[in-house]
Chains A and B, each alone.
Chain A
Amino acid sequence: MATARLPRVGVVKLASCDGCQLTLLDLEDELVAIGQRFDLVEFPEATSRRSMGPFDVLLVEGSVSTPEQAEQIVDLRAQTKLLVTIGACATAGGIQALRNWSNEPEWRASVYPRPEEIESLATSTPVAEHVTVDAELRGCPIDPHQLLELLTALRVGRRPQLPDEAVCAECKRLGRICVLVASGTACLGPVTQVGCGALCPAYLRGCYACFGPRDAANTTSLATWLGGERSGVEVDRLFAGFTGYAPAFREASRRAVEVMQPAARRRRTKSKAT
């Protein structure tokens, strides 16, 4: 081991399920080596060592959903050289961002008998809406290979190689039967960023967009096409999922509800895209 100082790494969470930081512990074959090449100074789920920073690298899981988290992320950013968001919550607001369309106090009251004792923001938002983010790993959960690629790149000081094509491209390369074409299953593969290994079609179901919209995704076209066989409400539910608050999916949901729903009876009628 060189005498050079190891990069100080923190792993923290906001509103989330812990699954993305667990992905680090799920690198079972590499975990001990990672511990030798990085100084994990803050990772409350895994170690009792604590640090307030500074961090060379900070992996942030979860969305900003409480007033405290909104302050916390600003403080953490100030302590951090490279801030990396990991997972659908941190990069797109997560499934809990569904409340962004709703009346949050009513939701809170529906779950808690004394809602006034719960500290929560009306919205769940991605970290990038609050502070500058240097890199992101998408996914619900993130992919272990992409995490390893990121860590390797950080260690050697190069840019991580992360694909930005559609799930469809990988699915075709893997020679899988297209569930959308062959069985009419609703699949968001054409508009979703690759990263999982096109798992859903391999397990004979449609992609449900864990990795969020790919760059320049034509969601309007897909939503219109899917709407040929489905009501606007059903199309809305497809897009309003784990990355539903990402702008391209938000727009597809809006179209499904506002444009397609009134025309739901005119099935198979091609509607003009705006």
Chain B
Amino acid sequence: MHSGEPQDGDLHFEVGQLTRVEGEGSLDLRVAADGTVAAQLRIFEAPRYFERLVVGRTPDEVIDIVARICGICPVAYQMSAVHAFEHLFEVEIDPAVRLLRRLLYCGEWIESHALHIFLLHAPDFLGYPSALEMAHDHLELVSRGLSMKKLGNRIVAIVGARAIHPLSVRVGGFSRAPRAQELDELRSPLETAIIDAEATVKWAASLDTPPSDREPRLVSLRHPREYPMNDGRIVSSDGIDLSPDDWGSAFHEVQVPWSHALQASAADGVPYLLGPTARVALAADQLHPRAAAALKATRISPEALRRNVFHSIVTRAVELLHALAEAADIVATYAPPARPAAAWKPKAGVAAWATEAPRGLLFHRYTLDAKGIVRGAQIVPPTSQNQAAIEHDLALFAPAVLHLPHDEATRRMEQLIRSYDPCISCATHFLQLKIEHDR
């Protein structure tokens, strides 16, 4: 797929920075004389060296620091880190704390998915440069999206004190757990939002989707009793099934010359896809009944959902509904834990864990000394894992649009890239589209 340096006879076609994604990157497309297309997702977001920043820090400090990898999904970073430490320290977590963490993560999924569906991705389908222009003609749609996004942020803020970089997550639990009454304000907005999300699934399924066909290898967490989020084994559509402790036996990171983000890759080199489409496919049986019903009503087959990359807006909407419905269930039964945090003792060793960020599996691995101070870290964000799949799918999709006028071809390819909801701030960050093809 990556054929190295440009060859004579290739045509170069350059487009500006990719927009409506988080962070900074570009895309290089090269069409060789024989018609084969090579795609390189270039990520030149400035490196911030997080894996080095956490060295010498305590577990609770690390939880604060890794949140800053991403302003859109800080909870994901906090969740992978806190569970990794608790796994090593063998801390027993109160079931109420466990539920509260799921609620916090639901809040982030709601906020992040609503942001992506309505503000970043919908303008592609409806033909606007941004949601602000789209609001001139589709005010109700934009308002519906913003109200769900606001509710997701509110959930994170109640549990975590603020919507961006929440601060209550601590090893063992939370610095403070909300009283039951504090969650009451969420009940009525959640009921409204669930109805809005059902309408969103229906709307997303009705969108005109460009043709696309690929057979992705899917990877997500799998838990025996719940939709994948904070806990589970790593599974794939082709039989991988391992504990996050063993992540390194099936996956590794490689540095590619065109990117500031290390690309994660499966041991066999076959690209894999993470995120809503992977989770909906691998855990369809665990969707909340309301999300499952809404998905079924779309009459889109599981095969089409998986094979057409543009249907990711549907799977994201299904998960938006799932997260709202699950949040409503948790709020309805919540009783605060007896103690917000369990006591813990540091221990030397390796702390590894994976959780499901809105964009997919987020793997963390830390080595700690006997005092519990971090001595080494590896953080593998979902976008750096999806990078190879994005490049693969772009190379597959490009021939269908390269004959179009430059602006239109660019728009279509940006739409495809946005389908993965790439978070380049996470992977490092920035997208610019460059196409090279044979004349």
Contacts and interface: CB of A to CB of B under 8 A. Distances in A.
A17 B133 CA distance: 26
A112 B255 contact: yes
Nearest to A88: B68
Interface residues of B, number: 67
Interface in A205-219: 205, 208, 210
Given A48-B20, A96-B53, 9 more contacts: A15-B46, A22-B72, A22-B164, A45-B19, A94-B48, A107-B52, A111-B49, A111-B52, A203-B176
Interface in B131-175: 131-133, 135, 139, 142-143, 146-147, 149-150, 153, 161-165, 167-168, 170, 174-175
B90 to A, nearest CB: 24
B24 interface: yes
Contacts, number: 177
Contacts of A25: 115, 119
A133 interface: no
A113 B47 CA distance: 14
A28 B51 contact: no
Interface in B81-101: none
A32 B68 contact: no
Going nearest first, the 5 A-B pairs with the smallest beta carbon separation are A19-B71, A47-B130, A35-B132, A15-B46, A28-B150
B360 interface: no
A49 interface: yes
Nearest to A110: B52
A14 B429 CA distance: 10
B421 interface: no
Contact of B119 (A46, A102, A107, A202): A46
B132 A48 contact: no
B130 A18 contact: no
Contacts of B260: 118
B71 A141 contact: yes
A47 B71 contact: no
B424 to A, nearest CB: 9
Contacts of A258: none
Interface centre among A13, A29, A210 (most CB of B within 10 A): A13
A261 interface: no
A117 B47 CA distance: 12
A29 B151 CA distance: 11
Interface in A87-108: 94-96, 98-99, 102, 107-108
B257 A203 contact: no
B132 A46 contact: yes
Interface centre among A65, A96, A200, A208 (most CB of B within 10 A): A96
Contact of B22 (A28, A45, A208, A241): A45
B68 A242 contact: yes
Contacts of B68: 17, 19, 94-95, 140, 242
Interface in A27-47: 28-29, 31-32, 35, 40, 43-47
A18 B67 CA distance: 12
Contacts of B56: 237
A69 B52 CA distance: 22
A141 B160 CA distance: 14
Given A17-B68, A32-B142, A203-B175, A114 B52 contact: no
Given A46-B20, A95-B65, A17 B47 contact: no
A46 B131 contact: yes
Nearest to B157: A199
Contacts of A75: none
A204 B74 CA distance: 20
